[in-house]
Structure 1
Amino acid sequence: MAGRRHDPDRRSRIIDSALAVIAENGVAGTTHRKVARHADVPLGSMTYHFADLDELLREALTRYAGRISERYTERITAASSLEDLVAAIVDLVHHDLGKAPDDLVLILELYTLAARVPAFRQITHDWMQQSRQALERFVDTDTAYDVDALIEGLFIHTSLDQPTRSRASTERAVRRFLS
């Protein structure tokens, strides 16, 4: 009898593969079979590690939101003045939030899923709460809420608009908003 293959990173690889499959096929096109194929694991590993597809999606999108939140928080907390904050926000919009090619798709898929399925709203809530807390080093709670929404909106518009919005335009908008 052959020994069981030792694969301590399998669960994590499945989660990362789920993100790749979501980016390629959308949440609606994500299946256990596609994720297992991408992760190069037996299909049975899916149900061994995750009770159902929703659990896998929640874990994958929670991991993804955590990664984006880390980038965001890192950039904002590195700022030491209002001028630095403006520069940090521009960098977030034009670089950090869309650092990987799949970022825009994954962010929009997460928003769409959270809009449709209340159980997924906690992921976006936690992400937004952490973002606002980082901003509250510089601005009050209400302004942090508004600036966070501005950042998200500018990122989406900058990512989708043609021609792409310039960094100078984004900087003007942020300055106007914070003045």
Structure 2
Amino acid sequence: MDTSGAGGAVAGRVRRNDPGRRDRIIDACLDVIAQVGVAGASHRRIAAAAGVPLGSMTYHFAGMDELLREAFGRHARGVAGLFERRMGVARDFEGAKGAVVDIITADVAGDRRDLVISYELCALAARDPAFRDITDAWAAASRRALERHFDPLTARMLDALIEGLVLHRALGTAPPDPAAVVAAVERITAPGARVGQAVHAAGRGRDRTP
């Protein structure tokens, strides 16, 4: 008995009911952006990278702008989460400074794929205001994480340092010099060290409150 038709129908149902397909498309979109940039990211190329039919693109997303927003939003939340985890485990002011160094040297500037995606997002937001809410939310989340240990002005300066070194890494051929990163963090935090330490101490006090 020929069961090829039944098998094809079952396979079709599995594909249609694939609950992870939308997520795979978003991840594939980020992979394609890392490879060829936003300008080269087409529905066809992303569908091929995700291993899904071309029709799935318009089924799950109204258009390329919606897909780009979902993809870049996921990327931004992921990077902001790195900040939160690093700053969350820092136990004191010195540990917080070390966490900033690790964010720069190991996390943000340590992955070429993420570097390129971050650069593409910033370039897109610079051209198209419709994407600036993503970069604004990303910056706000990063600064909130930094403000767990540093006063707001110092947190903003550290955030600018991180963004600047990320840009340098994306455009350059060599990773940032860890010793230079340590020196830069020390210079930014030294004038307001007492303020930052006070923020940390206040946090410890709140933690001890019954």
TM bucket (normalised to shorter chain) is over 0.9
Say which is worse superposed, 133-142 or 42-51, in terms of deviation.
133-142
Instruction: Tell whether the 8 Å contact from 1:93 to 1:158 is kept in structure 2 after alignment.
Output: no
Q: Deviations over 1:149-171 (max 9, x none)?
A: 11111233245445433211110
In structure 2, distance between residues paired with 1:118 and 1:14: 24
Report the equivalent of 1:15.
26
Instruction: Tell whether the 8 Å contact from 2:119 to 2:170 is kept in structure 1 after alignment.
Output: no
TM-score normalised according to structure 1 size: 0.94
Runs of 5+ in structure 1 lacking a partner?
none
Q: Deviations over 1:52-107 (max 9, x none)?
A: 00000000010111111111111122112221111111111111113433011001
Report the equivalent of 1:26.
37
Report the equivalent of 2:197.
none
Structure whose residues are more often helix by fraction: 2
In structure 2, distance between residues paired with 1:35 and 1:174: 39
- Percent of paired sites with the same residue: 49
Runs of 5+ in structure 2 lacking a partner?
191-210
In structure 2, distance between residues paired with 1:129 and 1:33: 34
- Residues 1:69 and 2:89 are matched in the alignment: no
Instruction: Tell whether the 8 Å contact from 2:109 to 2:169 is kept in structure 1 after alignment.
Output: no
Larger Rg: 2
In structure 1, distance between residues paired with 2:21 and 2:60: 9
Q: 1:24 to 1:159 in 2, by over 3 A?
A: closer
2:183 corresponds, among 165, 172, 177, to 172
Report the equivalent of 1:144.
155
Report the equivalent of 1:119.
130
Work out the number of aligned pairs and report it: 179
